[in-house]
């Protein structure tokens, strides 16, 4: 059904004639007649009785006119809401994140963003990197922030922020009075690793391979969930681990853990924003991406001063 024909039909009814509708719509009277005939053919009913210059609704025409008014009202509401999109950011913002940014960076950013956009409803799920990617691909999450970019059909990865990875040991450990250790020295200690799918684990495994360290050279004592789990085990003296510096800022500050940089170029990872390649993002998601980029750039500049 052609909305233009419905517009013309409504105008004929409300102006009471084909000529009045033609004048209102600024088209020719034959064009009005053609559109009404086409509409009647489309619905399979005569809608107007023509008597001289005036027209009257048939029974089918009364039904058509009632629904036409409702459709025109919906069309106006549709146009109004689209116009409001340019002025107002609202609706759900559903994100997933790996533990590093999900526990430390994103709550701060999302809190500020929600304060600036109170009509946005924020939901954040903290998961491992692979699960976040899977759920973005399945469109259960609109955006993800992860610690490793794993090429995957249907996903787009964009840089989000950088984070240094450090080895952590408890006070009194033989490395505790040092500032740096080598990747190879990790093989001499009971090593605590995060579960498969963790972004930190993927970066560490690649760094070990790049350094010529083989899996059988490692003394992996335990595989323990994500960052909070391995951090707790180090605090209890069960081994050493590599972890995001962001995740241990509080413990390093209060002296319960010692963070050691890794020699060479150091070990850092890029946090990535991941989104579905074929999905048009909601305005809230686009607005958050832009907001986060500004906030993180400002924080980075402040630290550099």
Please write the tens of the pLDDT for every residue from 170-187: 998 999 999 888 888 888
Q: Per-residue DSSP letters for 205-252?
A: HHHHHHTT--GGG--EEEE-SSHHHHHHHHHTTS-BEEEEGGGGHHHH
Percentage of the chain modeled with pLDDT above 90: 32
> Is the pLDDT score of 265 beyond 60?
no
**For residues 113 and 164, which has the higher predicted lDDT (pLDDT)?**
113
Residue 193 has pLDDT above 80, yes or no: yes
Q: How confident is the model at residue 123 (pLDDT cuts 50, 70, 90)?
A: very high
Question: What pLDDT does 188 receive?
Answer: 86
Domains 91-161+270-304 and 162-269 share a fold: yes
Distance CA 187, CA 214 (A): 10
Domain boundaries, the chain: 3-85, 91-161+270-304, 162-269
What is the C-alpha to C-alpha distance for residues 142 and 145, in angstroms, rounded to an integer?
11
Query: What pLDDT does residue 244 have?
Result: 82
Query: Would you identify the CATH topology of the domain 162-269?
Result: D-Maltodextrin-Binding Protein; domain 2 (3.40.190)
- Quick: pLDDT tens for 35-49: 899 988 988 999 998
**Domain 91-161+270-304 class, CATH top level:** alpha beta
Evaluate if residue 3 carries a pLDDT over 60. Answer: yes
pLDDT for position 1? 66
Q: Does residue 303 have a pLDDT over 80?
A: no
The CATH number that domain 3-85 falls under is 1.10.10.10
The 10s digit of each residue's pLDDT in 279-297 is 888 888 999 999 999 998 8
- Average pLDDT of the chain is 86
Tokens found for residue 86: 């340019």
Distances (CA, A) of 135 to 94, 101, 105: 11, 17, 21
């Amino acid at each position: 059904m052609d909305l233009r024909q419905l517009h013309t039909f409504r105008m004929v009814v409300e102006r009471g004639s084909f000529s009045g509708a033609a004048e209102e719509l600024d088209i020719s009277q034959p064009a009005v007649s053609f559109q009404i005939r086409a509409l009647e053919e489309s619905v399979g009913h005569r809608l107007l009785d023509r008597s001289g210059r005036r027209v009257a609704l048939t029974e089918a025409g009364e039904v058509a006119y009632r629904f036409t008014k409702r459709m025109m009202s919906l069309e106006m509401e549709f146009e109004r809401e689209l116009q409001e999109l340019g002025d107002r950011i609202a609706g759900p913002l559903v994100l997933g994140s790996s533990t590093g940014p999900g526990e430390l960076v994103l709550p701060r950013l999302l809190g500020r963003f929600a304060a600036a956009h109170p009509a946005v409803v924020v939901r954040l799920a903290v998961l491992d990197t692979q699960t976040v990617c899977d759920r973005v691909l399945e469109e259960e999450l609109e955006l993800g922030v992860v610690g490793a970019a794993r090429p995957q059909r249907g996903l787009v990865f964009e840089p989000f922020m950088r984070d240094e990875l450090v080895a952590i040991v408890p006070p009194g450990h033989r490395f505790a009075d040092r500032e740096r250790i080598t990747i190879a020295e990790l093989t001499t200690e009971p090593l605590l690793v995060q579960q498969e799918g963790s972004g930190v684990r993927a970066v560490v495994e690649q760094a070990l391979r790049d350094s010529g360290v083989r899996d059988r050279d490692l003394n992996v004592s335990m595989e323990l969930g994500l960052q909070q789990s391995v951090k707790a085990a180090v605090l209890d003296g069960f081994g050493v681990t590599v972890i995001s510096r962001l995740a241990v800022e509080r413990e390093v500050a209060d002296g319960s853990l010692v963070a050691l940089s890794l020699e060479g170029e150091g070990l850092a990872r890029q946090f990535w924003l991941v989104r579905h390649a074929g999905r048009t993002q909601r305005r809230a998601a686009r607005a958050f991406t832009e907001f986060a980029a500004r906030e993180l750039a400002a924080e980075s500049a402040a630290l550099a001063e």
